[in-house]
């Protein structure tokens, strides 16, 4: 078996629909009287859903054959119960009969989890038929746990139960930022990605400073390896955080608030990220961590912990620490500014 994964496109909808129909047919092994409530038009509906930016799907192929797929959604794309707030939804995972028992289901599930992590999610949820015990045992082996939520009258015509999974460990408040409110930052001048030199302590008006560990580069392993990096509470998520701040930047401007990002990375690394992610706000490079904010060590490298400072005339008015999930940093700061 040589399985490859690729992102689906709307043109793959007939292949995905065929896999779904095969999967639903197997439901009759444990629910012989069940009737599919949507027996026709599935390919057309999937075509529309696969066009949505809120749905991401990976197709598994073995040579020229389709072996299965996994689909994730930010918001529920179907009539089935939605995921709780802050959760990505594992919408579909199906493996065709020839590849069942080969470990492909686990590979698909892990690929879906990685996709959700890369998009900034820290937890996932799924709904599965209550009486589909083979599926339930699979999810439980893979670390999913029952949430306690049920849907006994789903439009699918089967009672459903919900499972959830934490994808990344949440950081706790270790007190490292307790002394920051009311303090003035050191008078340190740092290079910015827009070519200027910035002294945060001397900036007039209000400023929001988003400190974060480090952004990665596409195709490169995280510092210490992805598994070790993901295991550090609060470390993963710098790119989704930067993009969320980018998308909310105009709202900060409307409040006359200047925004900066801050890390201990080099200016070269920061310029690469700023260009690739089209960031409208500068990133500040502080390799020696001279601003004195909370740090941690990884592979001998000093990195800033993720926190947000709200300053007025260089004095810290408010601190958000820890920041989690990372892609909610902008919303958390805007809520404090209102």
Domain that holds residue 263: 189-337
Residues 282, 149 share a domain: no
234 is a domain residue: yes
Residues 145, 7 share a domain: yes
- Asked if 141 and 187 count as a contact pair (C-beta separation under 8 A), the reply is no
Q: Going residue by residue through the chain, which has 338 residues, state the pLDDT in tens, using 9 for 90 and above.
A: 689 999 999 999 999 999 999 999 999 899 988 887 766 677 888 888 888 888 889 999 999 999 999 999 885 544 445 666 567 899 999 999 999 999 999 999 999 999 898 888 889 999 999 999 999 999 999 999 999 999 887 778 899 999 999 999 999 999 999 999 999 999 999 999 999 999 999 999 999 999 999 999 888 889 999 889 999 999 999 999 999 999 999 999 999 999 999 999 999 999 999 999 999 999 999 999 999 999 999 999 999 999 999 999 999 999 999 999 999 999 999 999 97
Chain-centre distance for alpha carbon 72: 11
- Asked if 234 and 170 count as a contact pair (C-beta separation under 8 A), the reply is yes
Residues 158, 11 share a domain: yes
| 200-239 burial: b if 16+ Cβ within 10 Å, else e | bbebeebbbbbbbbbbbeeeeebbbeeeebbebbbbbbbb
Residues 141, 47 share a domain: yes
CA dist 266 to 191, 200, 258, 287, 295, Å?
10, 18, 22, 6, 16
Residues 247, 144 share a domain: no
For tokens 């496109």, name the residue.
9
Which pLDDT score, from 0 to 100, does residue 77 have? 44
For tokens 């939520």, name the residue.
149
55 is a domain residue: yes
Residues 202, 71 share a domain: no
Q: How many domains does the chain have?
A: 2
283 is a domain residue: yes
310 is a domain residue: yes
Burial (CB < 10 A; 0-12, 13-18, 19+), residue 126, is: buried
Which pLDDT score, from 0 to 100, does residue 76 have? 53
Residues 101, 45 share a domain: yes
Residues 207, 87 share a domain: no
For the CA atoms of 305, 324, 116, 86, what is the dihedral angle to 10 degrees?
-170
- Asked if 209 and 309 count as a contact pair (C-beta separation under 8 A), the reply is yes
Which pLDDT score, from 0 to 100, does residue 36 have? 79
């Amino acid at each position: 078996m040589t399985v490859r994964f690729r992102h689906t496109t709307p043109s793959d909808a007939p292949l995905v629909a065929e896999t779904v129909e095969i999967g639903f047919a197997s439901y009759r092994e444990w629910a012989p009287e069940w009737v599919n409530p949507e027996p026709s038009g599935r390919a057309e509906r999937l075509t529309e859903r696969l066009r949505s930016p809120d749905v991401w799907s990976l197709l598994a192929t073995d040579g020229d054959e389709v072996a299965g797929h996994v689909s994730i959604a930010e918001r529920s794309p179907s009539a089935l119960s939605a995921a709780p707030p802050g959760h990505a939804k594992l919408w579909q995972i199906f493996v065709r009969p020839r590849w069942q028992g080969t470990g492909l289901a686990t590979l698909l599930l892990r690929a879906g989890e990685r996709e959700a992590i890369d998009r900034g999610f820290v937890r996932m949820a799924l709904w599965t038929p209550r009486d589909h015990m083979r599926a339930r045992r699979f999810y439980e082996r893979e670390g999913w746990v029952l949430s306690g939520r049920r849907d006994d009258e789903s439009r699918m015509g089967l009672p459903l139960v919900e499972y959830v999974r934490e994808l990344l460990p949440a950081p706790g408040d270790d007190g490292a930022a307790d002394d920051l409110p009311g303090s003035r930052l050191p008078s340190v001048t740092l290079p910015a990605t827009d070519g200027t030199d910035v002294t945060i302590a001397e900036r007039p008006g209000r400023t929001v400073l988003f400190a974060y560990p480090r952004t990665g580069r596409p195709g490169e392993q995280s510092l210490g390896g992805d598994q070790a990096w993901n295991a550090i509470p609060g470390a993963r998520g710098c790119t989704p955080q930067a993009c969320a701040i980018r998308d909310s930047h105009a709202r900060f401007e409307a409040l006359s608030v200047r925004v900066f990002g801050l890390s201990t990375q080099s200016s070269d690394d920061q310029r690469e990220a700023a260009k690739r992610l089209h960031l409208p706000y500068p990133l500040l490079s502080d390799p020696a961590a001279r601003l004195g904010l909370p740090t941690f060590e990884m592979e001998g490298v000093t990195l800033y912990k993720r926190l947000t400072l709200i300053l007025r005339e260089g004095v810290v008015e408010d601190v958000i620490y820890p920041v989690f999930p990372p892609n909610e940093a902008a919303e958390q700061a805007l809520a404090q500014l209102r």
